[in-house]
Amino acid sequence: MNLFKLSIQNSKKSFKDYAIYFFTLILGVAIFYVFNALDSQTVMMNVSSSTKEIITLMTNILSGVSVFVSFILGFLIIYASRFLMKRRNKEFGIYLLLGMSKRKIACILFLETLCIGILSLGIGLLLGVILSQFMSVLVANMFEADLTRFTFVFSSVACIKTMFYFGIMYVLVMLFNTVIIGKCKLIDLLHASKKTEKVKLKNPILCIFIFVVSSCVLGYAYYTVTGGVEQIQDASEIFTPIVLGVLSTFFLFWSLSGMLLKIVMNRKKIYYKGLNSFTLKQVSSKVNTTVFSMTIICLMLFITICVLSSALSIKNSMTYNLKTLAPIDVEIKKPIDLTEKRVNDSWEYESRMIEDSKISIQESLAKMDFDVSAYFTDIVTFITYETDLLLLKDTIGTYYEEAKKKYPYLRYETKEEFIKVSDYNKAAKLLGLEEISLKENEYAIVANYDGWIPIRNAGLKENTPVTLLGRTYYPKYQECINGFIEMSGNAANMGLFVVPDMALDESIRANAYLLANYKEKTEEGKRKVEEIFLNIEKHPYMEKASIEARTKIYLYEASIGLGAMATFIGLYLGIIFLMSSAAVLALKELSESSDNKERYKMLRKIGADEKLIEKALFRQIAIFFLFPLLLAIIHSIFGILFCNYILEAFGNEKLLESILMTALFLILIYGGYFLLTYLCSKNIIKEK
């Protein structure tokens, strides 16, 4: 009973000095619950079956991500416990000196951890349940769902999962504490606060050399993922710049810690101004442990910034793209005039589809009991053409040799696709695109995929001629025209040749298209028509046909779903990484402030006023928080450029918005931890 009372008193005392630790535990529990309760929160929403499938997929992925998150939080809790144990060395030494056995001390720690665990789980779950109700509104907004059936929801599954994972974490902490107590010695515990890490001035020449080499290696890694990204042919090659970046980050911190100390010591006016010498010594006294932790925190912040920016950018860009890339209700495509040779040359088609390829899209749909005229309006039909005699390598002219070196992974044997100018203009009018006029010997290229436009433009600027069915045509424009004929959730048109009508004939027909709007104008009516239309997939005739359909509603729901999925996974990982990075720094600083109370007391004795001491403390904490953040921001500039290259099909129209939103998260969470650390540290060193 006495041990229990003692553990309760210790918990209260620890809570007073280490509020950040308890705040982090509670926040971790709440976030874990909120993201694992999404499945229960979405049950009340009135959404379509396809959206439900996307939400189910998202919650399954988040469940898997939660396992990874639990490892991060587990590491954080054990790391925090290490610092709390270190702070209490003298206390444990006094217990041993008074005759208390190590077993009883371990029992006290067990009870303390149990109290902390129950308290943090209880408050965290309560906070999580409240926050999850707001999350319901966010999810509904992301999926544009109807929340008329909104009710308060408690997820028992998320609650059990949270209790299970955090229970395991606390058990590990108990075992960790028991092992530490078992290994400790009385003399080490009593004199731990008097020990200080020996400050060794590193060889400045060696530091400068390592700094220069690390900077050059880091510069090479930056170039590889930006300017030289086209040279990466295999996904495994990306690990090289990643490893180089990690090693360079470590050695940059190692060299800077030695260089800055030497540089500032040589600047007497700065070094001896105020309490700068004390602050610098405080920073340098932990240099051996700081370099490694700074590296880990810097990399975690880098991942956070890139993940949040990219995830939010995908969501914003896809929503923005839908307005321009899916302007009509339905688009249908099917191969036309299939031959055995074409079937054998492609994995898309089978011999049973040859017969259906001889008839129009309307006739194919009629065989599946779907009357186009009964449900569709604004109908536009056209055909595109291909020939084995005009491949990508033929249409980019002399730029082909340079392109092979710059883009070695491209398939230059791909057949180009052509459309009559009159057909394109009909489609463009319906799609809200710019119409084109051509002379008898001119052609134009329409495209909207940023990755391919420079390649197309290079061929156009060389005035590359195109010979089609015995006639030669020249580009009317030196650049691609923005356009497309296939609806999509992202910019995917790599290049479509628009040529005069007389340039094409039936001998090279490839695909038939039908674009239309639904006759029904209400949202409910359109969904009913869509359900009827998509039901043709179950018709027996579909076995003989190769019809590919895209609808605005389906694309919209799929794009919103993918964007929402990326956003929630990005937010989940980003917040956990950001919180963990800030918490590790905060706990380390709080521990050092506790260890250095005697040093601050000595400053007061020699005449330093309270404002000067607080200023020195503020600078010390600011250095620890800013160093990893500044390098992480530099890393992130190149990391975001690489992510933008990989995800450019989704567009980057809203990238700035995403970066600003990420900056807001950094200010609120990272800045909040910095401010709390300073206030708690100031309270710790305050003279009683």
Residue in this structure with the two tokens 């694992």, named with its chain if needed: 36
pLDDT-derived band at 49, boundaries 50, 70, 90 = low
Q: 553 versus 270: which is more confidently predicted?
A: 553
> Quick check: helix, strand or coil at residue 383?
strand
Cα–Cα distance, 146 to 563 (Å, whole number): 18
Own/partner pairs for 245-248, CB < 8 Å, 24+ apart? 245/218, 245/221, 245/635, 246/295, 246/299, 247/214, 247/217, 248/214, 248/215, 248/217, 248/218, 248/221
- What would the two tokens of residue 3 be? 């041990």
CB 364 within 8 A of CB 334: yes
What are 421-442's pLDDT values in tens digits? 999 999 999 998 999 999 999 9
Please write the tens of the pLDDT for every residue from 307-327.
Answer: 888 777 776 666 666 777 888
Q: For residues 579 and 668, what is the distance between their CA atoms, to the nearest angstrom?
A: 10
Q: How far apart are CA 499 and CA 391, in angstroms?
A: 16
Q: What is the pLDDT of residue 193?
A: 54
More confident residue, 340 or 93: 340
pLDDT of 114 > 80? The answer is no
pLDDT at site 379: 92
- Choose the weakest-confidence range: 396-410, 572-586, 668-682: 396-410
pLDDT of 110 above 70? yes
Q: Return the higher-pLDDT residue of 459 and 204.
A: 459
Nearest to 584 by CA among 673, 487, 457: 673
Is residue 560 scored above 80 in pLDDT? Answer: no
How buried is residue 276: exposed, middle or buried, by Cβ count under 10 Å (0-12/13-18/19+)? middle
Confidence of residue 349 (pLDDT cuts 50, 70, 90): confident
pLDDT at 11: 61
Q: How far apart are CA 311 and CA 661, in angstroms?
A: 11
pLDDT of 496 above 70: yes
pLDDT score for 87: 64
Query: Residue 230: its pLDDT value, please?
Result: 62
How much is the pTM?
A: 0.72
Give 492 or 463, the one with higher predicted confidence: 463
Helices (H), 88-146: 89-97, 102-142
Q: Which amino acid is at 45?
A: M
Tokens 């160093």 locate to: 627
Distances (CA, A) of 137 to 36, 146, 449, 571: 16, 10, 34, 16
Q: Which two tokens stand for residue 385?
A: 């053409």
Distances (CA, A) of 688 to 598, 684, 685: 12, 9, 9
